[in-house]
Amino acid sequence: MEPALRALDIVGGYGKAVVVQGVSMELRPNELVALVGPNGSGKSTFLKSVYGLATLFDGRVFLDGTDITSLGPEEKSALGIQYVPQVDNTFPDLRVRENLEMGAYLERDVREIRRRTQEVYDLFPVLGERKEQRAVTLSGGERQMLAIGRALMARPRVLLLDEPTAALAPKMVEELFRRILAVRDSGVAVLLIEQHAKKALGIADRGVVLVAGRKAMEGTGREILANESLKVVFLGRR
């Protein structure tokens, strides 16, 4: 199967500082890949380099086989890549419904926007219950659901999630993971950065470990979790 997203030899960072050094990765439709590693290993920088929010010094990015390396975030978004940052990922003063409508800004068919909105409510029922509330009134977990829901309004081929469960209660982490799996099952390729590495690898189809900006290991979650050195040094298991 042709990868939905292929990132080849990505070298990225900020200004003149190189953080990610030659990392390659592929994402296929209906696949969830967990990107894990210690703090400062370059996980978020990799996502931002691929999406166009960090400096891409070298490497290529392909969407469905088409080279999109030189495109900016807005153009990549329009072509089918959505990026959900860890924080500041909703419009706090807009209602839930309005936030979702913002995600479909390229769609002009009102009926289609309504269909997509209902699909998000079906995936995240709590958003339907809160649709007239302003985003600022939502809990942390509900705001993350709203951010993902808004990204899904654009009907992405690829979804890049940067630590969506950070600072959430364990029960909400489990709930959000279930919803992310449902997104994957709908056909979207999902790349997930997670601080809950063990849980993320437990649900992912594949995992990639970054250390000091380089790929240290790639394989199934089970293979990575079975690696004793990674369990101790990178995943915090002792």
Is the pLDDT higher at 227 or at 175?
175
In a domain, 120, yes or no: no
CATH number, residue 169: 3.40.50.300
**Inter-residue contact 200 to 192 (CB < 8 Å):** yes
Residue 228 is predicted with a pLDDT of 76
Mean pLDDT (the chain) is 93
Residue 232 is predicted with a pLDDT of 63
Kindly report, residue by residue over 113-166, the tens digit of the pLDDT.
999 999 999 999 999 999 999 999 999 999 999 999 999 999 999 999 999 998
pTM higher than 0.75 for the full model? Answer: yes
- Cα–Cα distance for residue pair 135/127, rounded to 1 Å: 10
Alpha-carbon distances of 193 from 29, 39, 57, 77, 185, rounded to whole Å: 18, 11, 22, 19, 18
Is the pLDDT higher at 234 or at 66?
66
In a domain, 72, yes or no: yes
Across residues 223-231, what is the average pLDDT? Answer: 79
Across residues 83-109, what is the average pLDDT? Answer: 94
In a domain, 101, yes or no: no
Confidence label for 167 from pLDDT (cuts 50, 70 and 90)? confident
In a domain, 105, yes or no: no
**Inter-residue contact 10 to 182 (CB < 8 Å):** no
In a domain, 219, yes or no: yes
Structure tokens at 142: 């509900």
Residue 238 is predicted with a pLDDT of 44
Is the pLDDT higher at 147 or at 233?
147
Q: How many domains does the chain have?
A: 1
List the domain range (segments joined by +) for residue 67. Answer: 5-89+158-233
- Cα–Cα distance for residue pair 6/24, rounded to 1 Å: 8
Q: How many percent of the chain have pLDDT more than 70?
A: 96
In a domain, 142, yes or no: no
In a domain, 103, yes or no: no
Residue 30 is predicted with a pLDDT of 93
